Structure 1
Amino acid sequence: MFKKITQARHMKLRRQKDGIELGFSGNTAYIATIHQYGLRARVERHKEHKVQYAKRELLGLTEQD
């Protein structure tokens, strides 16, 4: 699952004075957030039915990160 999520077209890079920030952009960011934290979301955009998604850690973040 999510094999193509690491492609450059799905990534967003921000440069700052003290470092860089790498993340996902657009709809990919929305989907990744839902699956990373196991949130509730609509299965289809214009439908009212919501589903509790299982938590699937896409990013290996620790408490210190």
Structure 2
Amino acid sequence: MEDALAVLLQQLAPPARRTLMREIAKNLRQRQKKQIQAQKNPDGSPYIPRKRRVRDKRGRLRRTMFARLHTARFMKTASTPDSASVSFTPAVERLTRVHHYGLRDRISRHGPTVRYARRQLLGFTDDARHWIADLALAHLAR
């Protein structure tokens, strides 16, 4: 079905494809935002929680991880007639890479180096692929 859909999409004019890709990118960003807010990996498993601090300040409220990361300020969409993408801005790219792949990083400038747990921020599932195909078919039906 994906091959047949690809042929139909190639027959569309570039402005129509650009409109479709913009719609896919916008909706994909919304789905990724909900996933990050729910603190879940793309496969539905929950994020590995933060390590508890030995001495935490009393009365300090801890936000959920990546509380502002899913906002439009940091998560951007891009689309061309041939592609759609969701990415993070360069300001938070290092932070997202470290958490997404579970890399090592310094806590602060002169602090210790720590290995972070792997928390996938962006990703595809089979459900997302089917959703994109359904969105493209709906666009072609219009």
The reply to whether TM is greater than 0.5 is yes
Secondary structure of residue in 2 paired with 1:23: strand
Structure 1 runs, 4 residues or longer, greater than 4 Å off? none
Identity rate, percent:
36
Secondary structure of residue in 2 paired with 1:2: coil
Secondary structure of residue in 2 paired with 1:60: coil
* Higher Rg: 2
Determine which structure has the larger helix proportion and give its number: 2
Structure 2 counterparts to residues 43-54 of structure 1, below 5 A: 43-44=107-108, 46-47=109-110, 49-54=112-117
Q: Which runs of 5+ in 1 are unaligned?
A: none
Structure 2 counterparts to residues 1-65 of structure 1, below 5 A: 1-44=65-108, 46-47=109-110, 49-61=112-124
Determine which structure has the larger strand proportion and give its number: 1
Q: Which runs of 5+ in 2 are unaligned?
A: 1-64, 126-142
Deviations 1:8-61 (A, max 9, x none): 0002333334122220002322111111110001111x3263111111122233
C-alpha separation in 1, matches of 2:115 and 2:107 = 10
**TM-score by structure 2 length?**
0.38
Let me know the Cα RMSD of the aligned residues: 2.2
C-alpha separation in 1, matches of 2:123 and 2:86 = 14
What amino acid maps onto 2:122 in structure 1?
Answer: L
C-alpha separation in 2, matches of 1:60 and 1:27 = 20
Aligned length: 62
C-alpha separation in 1, matches of 2:106 and 2:91 = 13
**TM-score by structure 1 length?**
0.71
